[in-house]
Structures are given as C-alpha cells and as structure tokens.
Amino acid sequence: MSKLAVNGGKKVIENHSVSWPIVDSRECEAVTNIVQTGKWGHQLDDEWDSCTIKKFREAFSEFVGVQYAIPCCNGSVALEVPLRVCDIGYGDEVITTPISWVASSLCATQVGAKPVFGDVDPDTFCLAPETIEPLITPKTRAIIPVHLGGHLADMDKIMAIARKHNLIVIEDCAQAHGAMCNGKQVGSMGDFGSFSFEISKLITAGEGGIIVTNDESLAEKTHAFVNAGIDYSGHNTSKSGMPGWNARITDIQAAILLVQLSRFGELAQKRFINYKHLLAGLRQIDGITVLPEQLGREYYFFFFRYKRSDFNNCSPDRFQQAILAEGVTAWRLFPPTHCHPKFASPYNYNNVKCPVAEELAADSFMIPHQMLIGSKEHTELIVEAFAKLKKYAGEL
Ligand SMILES: Cc1ncc(COP(=O)(O)O)c(C=O)c1O
C-alpha cells in the first residue's frame, strides 16, 4: 500500500492550517472608526495633517529608521515612482536580479528603461555584487537589489559600487519588512526603499505600498508624484515641480496597517523560533539543502534545495506535488525573469546567461511565512513530512 499522500497515503499535516492574514478586533475597530468618520481618503481641507495616512507614514518611517515615508497604492508602484522621480526612462538601463517577483524588473520597463540582469548569490538568492560592475555602461542609472524572502542583499558592497558610478539605489524590501543589516533596517541604506503591503506580505492591508528615503528633496518629489502634485502642506503648489499622479492609499488601508505594524514584533518572534526548529530538522535530511543562517534577516520565505538523485530522480514538479500532498505549502522558486518568453519585448535576452540563478531555479523551493507562525508541533510535522518523502522516496 502507498505511504505517500500524493499516492493516496495518509497526509502528515491534517488539521493544522494557519490562516493569513492575522486579524483581531483591533483591525475591525480601526476600520469601523474610519468608516464612521467619513475620512476615507486624503483630506483636501485643513485637517490634512491629522489624517490616518499621516499617522501611518510617521509610524513606518520610525519603524524603518528613516526621515521620510510616502505611502502609495502598491509595491510595484513603490518601485516605479522612484525611477520617475529620478528621471529614469527611455534609453536608460537599470541593473537588478533575475530571481524575484516580476515587479522588481518590470518597474524599469514601465518607465521605458531596460532591465539588465546580474546573477545571484547562492547563499542568499539575492543579487551578487560582483556581477554588477561588469554590466555598468554609460546608460546605467540605477540598481535595484531585492532582499529576497527576507534575506539580506549585500548593501555595503552594492552601495560602494553605486557611489563609485553615481547610480541610484532602490532597495526592494517587499519581502523583507523589519530585516536588519548591521543595525540598519532594510530600506534605509539605499537612496530609496520600497515596500509592499499586498495580502501575502508580512504587514498587509490587502494592497498598498510605501517608499522610504532619507533625502528631503527626493521625499518632496516622491510625495508630490504620488499625490497629484500636492506638497506636504496639502496645497497644490508643489515646490518639487513634479507633475504628479494619483498613486495614493486610503485611510482605511492606513488604519489597518497601523494595527498590523503594532503586531509585527510578536509575529517576527514566532517566525524566528519556528525557523530555527525547521532549519535544525531539515539539516538532518539527506538530499535537502538549506541556506546558511543570516543574522538580522526576516522570514518571508524559507528557501531550500532538493537533490534529485536523493528523491528517486523525481522532477521538481513531482517533488512539489508530493510535499503539498503531505500538507506543506512549498512553491518552486521564482523562474529567472530573463528566461520568461514574453518578458523580453522589446529587448532580447536570448544571450543573457545567469548561471547561478538558472541552476537554483531548477531545484529550489520556497516555504511561505504562513507556515512559520504555527505551533512548535506544526513545525515538527513539517520536518516529519520531509522525512517521510525521503523514507519513501522510491514511491516518487
Ligand atoms: C520582491 C517584490 N517586489 C515587488 C512586489 C510588488 O508588490 P505589489 O504586489 O504590492 O505590487 C512584490 C510583490 O509580491 C515582491 O515580492
């Protein structure tokens, strides 16, 4: 009789679903309060300064340890706006990673610039600094490192390259809220940091984003661009000279985000404890490789690689089906963006090679953070599910 759940056996994790997002009466009260006051969006009268959006931008800038935070409608726009603010567009090139959510590179094509792909570091899955410099041309204007899954891109080296070549750095922190590198929060080291509050993110309002910076002039321009040219005083007399667009969030989102932010520490602690258990457990299983520990990182994704020959030469898709069937959510790593057949247009990436990224994409998986906020018993069952796949690998 088959043992593996994928073949009809009993699954390891039956009744341990962890729901996301985590919500309690505080979110409900905060939203009800906004709905009742009628102050749902940005204020055009002199109450502008007391709006919930302002409270959230102050709370988030304190969280990241930056001077300015400008909320906006999503994390994709939070990458695009800094490029527009810096006049990056047609004819320009932006260096980024091939392993990420597509927004990390599509933000460049959105403004008419060309994404150029460096390779990644196999220990963090983040942009490898040593692959950046050979790609720099007179057209290069910006670098977008991504703190993938909460791992830390090497910002010291990336900033040194950027300063040498006079390039703008936008840290994509959509998957790394709260991660810290040498005492500095992600988002505070580049010229800009961008975050997403989409439904799967560590802090969420269903949708939303925020751009952070320490540069007053960049903040003025960013705020004006997101707010249809309106400056911080609430008047349509922007000193920045930015034409402006509407990329705002609502007060309803800001109210939810203020509560989510206050819950962050408690969930981060849970993720950290469960990550440690998972790491220790998976290290014992031959054929599963985990990434080295990285101090200060956050845990949006737990990445691992599987060795095909240790699992009956099963394909990565079969491996994924088998682990899912046991009750463990694990997805294939993001496919390298330069290999996407439709992404290329109008550029041609046929000759672009990122060997590390391509190799990782073939055998790597990511376990989402929702799997890290259950009980210790739940985490032990995750390890058991992997051990079971290994024990009955012949069935794969
Ligand atoms: C690394 C990264 N950057 C950017 C984004 C875009 O954020 P949003 O979905 O809020 O537009 C995401 C969203 O998944 C992401 O993971």
pLDDT reported for residue 232: 76
How far apart are the CA of 46 and the centre of ligand 1, in A?
Answer: 34
Distance of CA 354 from the midpoint of ligand 1 (Å)? 22
Judgement on whether residues 31 and 60 belong to the same structural domain of the protein: yes
Query: Which atom from ligand 1 is nearest to the alpha carbon of 77?
Result: 11
Domain boundary among 260, 278, 308: 260
Residue 51's pLDDT is 86
Mean pLDDT of 63-91: 97
For strands 140-144 and 114-117, give the pairing.
unpaired
Q: Residues 286, 150: one domain? A: no
Q: Same structural domain for residues 193 and 268?
A: no
- How close is the Cα of 71 to the center of ligand 1, in Å? 14
Which pLDDT belongs to residue 237? 65
Tell me what the pLDDT averaged over the chain comes to: 94
CA of 10 to the centre of ligand 1 (A): 36
**Closest C-alpha among 248, 250, 244 to residue 230:** 244
- Whether pLDDT at 347 is above 90: no
Atom nearest to 208 CA in ligand 1: 10
Q: Is the pLDDT of residue 239 over 80?
A: no
Atom of ligand 1 nearest to the CA of 148: 1
**Hey, whose CA ends up nearest to atom 10 of ligand 1?**
75
For the ranges 39-48, 342-351, 385-394, the lowest mean pLDDT is seen at 39-48
On whether residue 317 sits in a domain, the answer given is: yes
Which are the catalytic amino acids? 201
Query: Distances in Å between the alpha carbon of 60 and those of 177, 303, 327, 347?
Result: 10, 27, 35, 37
Average pLDDT over residues 59-75: 97
Q: Residue 230: its pLDDT value, please?
A: 83
Q: Check residue 39 and give its pLDDT.
A: 87
Q: Report d(CA 373, CA 143) in Å as an integer.
A: 33
CB 149 within 8 A of CB 294: no
Residue 48 pLDDT > 80: no
Single residue among 196, 225, 260 that ends a domain in this structure: 260
Q: Whose CA is nearest to atom 14 of ligand 1?
A: 101
H, E, C per residue of the chain: CCCCHHHCCCCCCCCCCCCCCCCCHHHHHHHHHHHHHCCCCCCCCCCHHHCHHHHHHHHHHHHHCCCEEEEECCHHHHHHHHHHHCCCCCCCEEEECCCCCCHHHHHHHHCCCEEEECCECCCCCCECHHHCHHHCCCCEEEEECECHHHCCCCHHHHHHHHHHHCCEEEEECCCCCCCEECCEECCCCCCEEEEECCCCCCCCCCCCEEEEECCHHHHHHHHHHHECCCCCCCCCCCCCCCCCCECCCCHHHHHHHHHHHHHHHHHHHHHHHHHHHHHHHHCCCCCEEECCCCCCCCCCEEEEEECHHHHCCCCHHHHHHHHHHCCCCCEECCCCHHHCCCCCCCCCCCCCCCHHHHHHHHHEEEEEHHHHCCCHHHHHHHHHHHHHHHHCHHHC
From the CA of 194, how far away is ligand 1's center (Å)?
A: 9
CA of 74, closest atom in ligand 1: 10
Residues 204 and 273 reside in one and the same domain: no
* Residue in 72, 74, 76, 197 to alter for ligand 1 test, most ligand atoms within 8 A of Cβ: 76
Region 232-249: mean pLDDT is: 77
Is residue 306 included in any domain, yes or no? yes
Whether residue 130 is predicted with pLDDT greater than 60 in this model: the reply is yes
Residue type, 184: K
User: Does residue 204 lie in a domain region?
Assistant: yes
Say if residue 248 is in the same domain as residue 313. no
My answer on whether 249 and 279 are in the same domain is no
Whether 244 and 290 share a structural domain: no
209 phi, psi to nearest 5 deg: -160, 175
Q: Are residues 99 and 230 in the same domain?
A: yes
In a domain, 5, yes or no: no
pLDDT digits 0-9 by tens, 131-179: 999 999 999 999 999 999 999 999 999 999 999 999 999 999 999 999 9
Ligand 1 atom with the smallest distance to the CA of 79 is 4
Residue 388 confidence (pLDDT) = 98
In a shared domain, residues 127 and 248 = yes
Residues ≥6 apart with Cβ < 8 Å to 367: 278, 301, 302, 303, 304, 328, 329, 330, 382
pLDDT at residue 74 tops 80: yes
Which residues, in sequence order, are bridge partners of residue 368? 301
163 and 180 together in one domain: yes
Cα-to-centroid distance, 196 and ligand 1 (Å): 6
Residues in the ligand 1 pocket, defined by CB under 6 Å: 74-76, 100-101, 103-104, 146, 172, 174-175, 196, 198, 209
Does a structural domain hold residue 17? no
Report how far ligand 1's centroid is from the alpha carbon of 300 (Å).
12
- The pLDDT score that the predictor gives to residue 283 is 98
Host domain of residue 323: 264-395
Q: Is the residue at 9 inside a domain?
A: no
Q: Are residues 310 and 254 located together in one domain of the fold?
A: no
- Report the share of the chain in percent with pLDDT over 70: 95
Q: What pLDDT, on the 0 to 100 scale, is given for residue 50?
A: 63
**pLDDT the model gives residue 18:** 74
CATH number at residue 321: 3.90.1150.10
Per-residue model confidence as pLDDT tens digits over 178-222: 999 989 999 999 999 999 999 999 999 999 999 999 999 999 999
Question: Pairing between strand 168-172 and 192-196?
Answer: parallel
Across the range 36-57, mean pLDDT stands at 77
Shared domain check, 332 and 284? yes
Confidence band of 233 (pLDDT split at 50, 70, 90): confident
Number of domains into which the chain is organized: 2
Residue 145 within a domain: yes
Query: At which of 260, 287, 317 does a domain end?
Result: 260
**8 assigned to some structural domain:** no
For 164-174, the pLDDT digits (tens) are 999 999 999 99
Any idea what the CATH number is for the domain that residue 53 is in?
3.40.640.10
Please report, for residues 56, 166, 204, 257, the alpha-carbon distance to residue 262 in angstroms, rounded to integers and kept in the order given. 11, 37, 12, 9
Contact 169, 158 (CB under 8 A): yes
pLDDT of residue 238: 65
Confidence of residue 223 (pLDDT cuts 50, 70, 90): very high
- d(CA 365, CA 323) in angstroms, rounded, equals 11
User: Distance between CA atoms of 282 and 278, rounded to whole angstroms?
Assistant: 6
Examine the pLDDT at 95 and tell me if it is beyond 70: yes
Probe residue for ligand 1, chosen from 101, 120, 300 as the CB with the greatest number of ligand atoms within 8 Å = 101
> 196, 199, 201, 333: which to mutate for ligand 1, most atoms within 8 A of CB?
196
